[in-house]
Amino acid sequence: MSNDTIKYIPGDANYEGKQDFTITVYAEDRVGLLNRISIIFSKRKINIDSLNTSPSEIAGIHRFTILINESYEVVRKLARQIEKQVEVLKVYFNTDSEVIWQELALYKVSTEEITEKVTVERLLRQYGATAVVIRKDYTVFSVTGHKEETDALVKALEPYELIEFVRSARVAIIKDSAGFHEKLKEFEAEEPGEERVENEFLDKGDKIFTM
C-alpha cells in the first residue's frame, strides 16, 4: 500500500523493478479461456515468456502457469484482470523465491560429432543431462532445470553442431500453497464466505502470496 518507503531487492514482493513472476491460474476447463486470458496480456502489449496449461490437483480444474517479467504493480493488475474472468477461480502470482519450478529442455546433436569431440560422460555429469535417444546419426539429450542451466548446455553444445533445441514452459509449485481442495469447497458454497474475500487490498500486506 502507500506507506512502502523501503526499496526492496529482486525476489522480494515489494521490489519495484521488473522481475520474473510466476502467475498460477486455477480455472474451469473451457474452450476459449486461454484466449480470454492471453488477450489480457496482449491488450497491454505485454509479452508472455512462457505459458503452460495442465491439469491441477483437482479433476476438472485446469492450471495455467504463466511466466512474465514485469513489475509487481503491473503483475498485480494483470492478476486482478485474470481473476475477474467468469471462468477463472483463482489467481496467484509469485516471485522466484516463492516457487519451486522446472523447465525441460531437449537437445539434438550429431552423434558422430559429439563422440569425437566431447566426452558424453562429462556432459551427462556436468549438466545433469540424460540421453533420451542414441542413434547412429544423432543423439537427443534432455535436461530438467532452470533456464540458466538449460541455457548453459546450449552454450556447451554450440561448437558441436546443435541440430535442434527446444525448451518447455515453466511449471511451478507454490511453496506456501496447501493445494486447492479447501479453496474449491469455499467456491462451491453458495454463500460467500470470509475466506473468499481475501485479496491484497483488503488483507493489507498480510501474507499476500499465501493461500
Partner 1 sequence: METLQDTETKKTTTSSPTFKGSGSQMLLNALIEEGVSTIFGYPGGAIMPIYDALYDYADKLEHILVRHEQGGIHAAQGYARTSGKVGVAFATSGPGATNLVTGLADAQIDSTPIVCITGQVFAHLLGTDAFQETDVINITTPVTKWNYQITDAKEIPEVLAKAFYIAKSGRPGPVLIDITKNAQLQIEEFEAYVKCNHIRSYRPKPKVRVEFIEEAAKLINSAQKPFVLFGQGVILGNAEKEFKAFIEKTGIPAAWTIMGEGAIPTDHPLNVGMLGMHGNYGPNVLTNEADVIIAIGMRFDDRVTGRLDKYAKQAKIVHLDIDPAEIDKNVKAEVGVWGDCKETLPILTNLVKQNRHEAWVAQFRDYNQQEIDQVITPELYPAGEEMTMGEVLRTLNELTGGDAVIVTDVGQHQMVACRYAKFNKTRSNVTSGGLGTMGFGLPAAIGAKYGAPERTVVAIIGDGGFQMTPQELGTIMQFGAAVKILILNNQFLGMVRQWQQLFHDKRYSFVNITSPDFVALAKSYYIEASKVDQRAELKKALETMINHQGSYLLEVMVGKENNVFPMVPQGCSVSEIRLK
In the complex with partner 1, which residue's Cβ is closer, 29 or 57? Answer: 29
C-alpha cell at 193: 464466505
- Measured from the CB of residue 128, what is the shortest distance to partner 1 in angstroms? 38
In the complex with partner 1, which residue's Cβ is closer, 99 or 184? Answer: 184
> Furthest-apart CA pair in the chain: how many Å?
68
C-alpha 129/C-alpha 143 separation (Å) is 5
In the complex with partner 1, which residue's Cβ is closer, 40 or 143? Answer: 40
Q: In one letter, which amino acid is 93?
A: F
In the complex with partner 1, which residue's Cβ is closer, 2 or 47? Answer: 2
C-alpha cell at 49: 515468456
C-alpha 163/C-alpha 31 separation (Å) is 35
- Measured from the CB of residue 19, what is the shortest distance to partner 1 in angstroms? 20
- Measured from the CB of residue 185, what is the shortest distance to partner 1 in angstroms? 10
Paired with 90 in beta bridges are: 26
Cβ proximity of 113 and 161 under 8 Å: yes
Cβ proximity of 13 and 65 under 8 Å: no
In the complex with partner 1, which residue's Cβ is closer, 83 or 112? Answer: 83
- Measured from the CB of residue 33, what is the shortest distance to partner 1 in angstroms? 9
Cβ proximity of 141 and 109 under 8 Å: yes
Contact positions vs partner 1 (CB under 8 A): 1-2, 27-32, 35-36, 39, 43, 60, 76-77, 80-81, 83-84, 86-89, 184, 187-188, 190-194, 196-197, 199, 201-202
- Measured from the CB of residue 101, what is the shortest distance to partner 1 in angstroms? 25
